Amino acid sequence: MDVSTLKSQSSLLQSLTVNSELNTLIEQQGSYETMMTKIRQLKKNTATLNREFDERFKQTEGLYKLPFFGTNQDILLLGFYLSYLFLMTVMLVVYYKNTQSWQNTLYGAFGAVFALMIITGLLFRLA
């Protein structure tokens, strides 16, 4: 091969490689082991912060009592369950009115409860 062929092949290879910005981004992410180490460190730090919060909350437990639904998450979760109950009740009443079948309406109620159990499980898993 002569020099001109090598240069043309080299320029062809350079044009086929990923652009430098994408390559830099990929290199910044690091290896799998590095990422797993970072994730383990984040979990360890989170556990430490949770333990500190629990200890401080126990120390100040007598000083400040939360209301029955004291956090925004509690209020939002209550709102979700109440709205789900309302929508499922309306849906089942309309379904019974259209079909005049208690059996099918009960199947729908069991399906709604099953879906609520799955949603609750996902919420507990993600929380």
Q: What's the whole-number mean pLDDT along residues 112-126? A: 92
Q: What's the whole-number mean pLDDT along residues 97-101? A: 91
Handedness of CA 71, 72, 73, 77 (dihedral sign): positive
* Domain ranges across the chain: 68-127
Between residues 28 and 115, the one the model is more confident about: 115
Helix axes 72-99 and 102-126, enclosed angle (nearest 10): 160
The values of phi and psi at residue 58, to 5°, are: -65, -35
pLDDT given at position 98: 92
First vs last C-alpha separation in the chain: 63
Please tell me the distance from the alpha carbon of residue 27 to that of residue 1, in angstroms, as a whole number: 34
Q: What's the whole-number mean pLDDT along residues 116-121? A: 94
For residue 113, which of 127, 91, 97 has the smallest C-alpha distance?
91
Condensed to tens digits (0 to 9), the pLDDT of residues 16-68 reads 555 566 666 666 777 777 888 888 999 999 999 999 988 888 887 767 676 77
Percentage, residues of the chain above pLDDT 70 = 72
